[in-house]
Chain A
Amino acid sequence: MTEFATLTIAAAAKLIRNRDISPIEYTQALLDRVSAHDAKINAFIRIMPEEALAEARTAEAEIAAGNWRGPLHGVPYALKDIVDVDGVPTTCHSKIMADNVATADAEVTRRLKAAGGVLIGKTSTHEFAIGGPSFDLPWPPARNPWNPDHFTGGSSSGSGAALAAGFVPAAIGTDTGGSVRNPASFCGIVGMKATYGRVSRRGVFPLSFSLDHVGPMTRGVEDNAIMMNAIAGHDAADPGSAPVESLDFTSLLGRDIQGMRIGVIRHFYNRDHVADPEMGQGIERAIDVLRGLGAEISEIELSPLREYAAANRVILLSEAFAIHEKWFKERPQDYGELARKRIIGGAFIRAADYVNATRTKTRLVAELADKMRDIDVAVTASSMDPPNRLDDPDGLEANYGRQARAPFNLTGVPAIAVPTGLSNSGLPLSMQIVGKPFDEARVYQVAHAYEQATGFGAQIPNLD
């Protein structure tokens, strides 16, 4: 009997294409699993069983007629609830947007529909992708399937939780300061933030125009590349979209990494921040694995993480406040406390500081390009700590900035978070692999080689 909860996209695609499983039974099995377990995980804001089953029926009929569209055809997925679906509410997990019904598909939605995917629901997030985890919003925060007392990471919290819980094999998140890679790290899954401009942002509620990325979240690297194949591509209607040709992001999977030059950005996690020992040891063990696979390991030194983080945050908050200013004048009480506290920071950033943050961005983009000239990819931490308990607001706040993801939003280069195992208390550990602009295929190659060597990421926790 097929275990649908752990099925990868790649495996499901073969089974569906050969008509060994039906998209309808696959979708129904996952909807049943959501029904049985999501009350304690809160991954979904909206479950769409009727629509999903209708899409599954269409997929089944098309495949039966010989019109197989590709590996996502008939495969269930979920969207973070800041991504528009025509005729469906996009709430941004906020009272402010509770009645907002989208009037068109986001470009990423359009592409996933065109690939034949089956949308089973919209996932929880931090309010407006910044304020969370919060208990003062219309919906509760997602809980970590590895231990529901713990944080999922955010802001693509529900997408990360839905994958770890085996509710879906694929989900979409967004990432402005690390919001795909943080839940990937905390939920023990794979999350990719591609090069800025690689995936269209059109139809996705903005947090920060200069830093927002849309990215795939999956349980494995191959699946992530398959998703990227479906969603990447130039969109002339997105001013940030890069006019570059999309590639086959699976093209380098399975190739060895003998001689690959990997630079470790160690000071991000042993000097600028000092990572939790288990997290740090997990990264060092991963570096040993990569060395064992034939990679040439060196160390690279960048500007202090604080400069990258400050520039990212100044730009993010300034742009976010510009988007939210009207609502803060009219209905500040309708925000949750965390979103309010974080976004209004943008009101107090001087114009000169915003400009200087973008000048810092120019400097740091050049620095990273220079330091990566003689390497193929870089490795560093994603989160500095395993996931905090949800009932520890002081710990959550203290760890909010303890991450090394924001530098790659600021510089726009591709970065993937991959699992490096579990802590002694059974919580996920992770690292990041970072590439050069538009070199996602190589990032996937290294991540896949590591995954194949270790087997991390293949398990899901027991929800019973």
Chain B
Amino acid sequence: MSNQDNLDPQAMARAFGLDRLAENFPEDIEHSATFSKSLADGLPSDLTPAEEPAHVFRCTQPDTAE
């Protein structure tokens, strides 16, 4: 469980500067926060430290750069 699991989505939205959203669409925020949590829970839990992100930056030599 992360710290984020304990936070109120409305408070998070306000902390992100989404005050208008929090004020006018509180139900949408609740729905979206719950959905996002379910997505993250669907990721594999056995990733090893050696498994790298898909877009690790790769330098190119100036003469081969496009």
Q: Which residues of A contact B (CB under 8 A)?
A: 210, 236, 243, 303, 306-307, 309-311, 313-314, 317, 328-333, 337, 340-342, 344-350, 352-353, 355-363, 365
Contact = CB atoms under 8 A, between A and B. Distances in A.
A356 B18 contact: no
Q: Is the interface of A mostly helix, strand, loop or mixed?
A: helix
Interface of B: 2, 4, 9, 12-13, 16-21, 24-25, 28-29, 31-33, 35-37, 39-44, 47, 51-55, 66
Contact of B28 (A314, A341, A349): A341
Contact of B32 (A307, A310, A345, A352): A345
A-B pairs with lowest CB-CB distance, top 6: A310-B42, A358-B53, A345-B32, A353-B40, A348-B36, A361-B54
Given A310-B42, A313-B39, A329-B20, A348 B47 contact: no
A168 to B, nearest CB: 35
B39 A314 contact: yes
A344 B29 contact: yes
B54 A345 contact: no
Contacts of A210: 54-55
A423 B48 CA distance: 45
A344 B28 contact: yes
Contacts of B4: 348, 350
A354 to B, nearest CB: 9
B53 A345 contact: no
B34 to A, nearest CB: 9
B43 A357 contact: yes
**Dominant SS at the B interface?**
helix
A349 B20 contact: no
B29 A311 contact: no
A353 B38 CA distance: 11
A243 B29 CA distance: 41
A236 B12 CA distance: 40
Given A307-B42, A340-B25, A355 B53 contact: yes
Contacts of A314: 36, 39-40, 43
A350 B40 contact: yes
A236 B66 contact: yes
Best-surrounded residue of A341, A344, A350 (most CB of chain B within 10 A):
A344
A361 B53 CA distance: 8
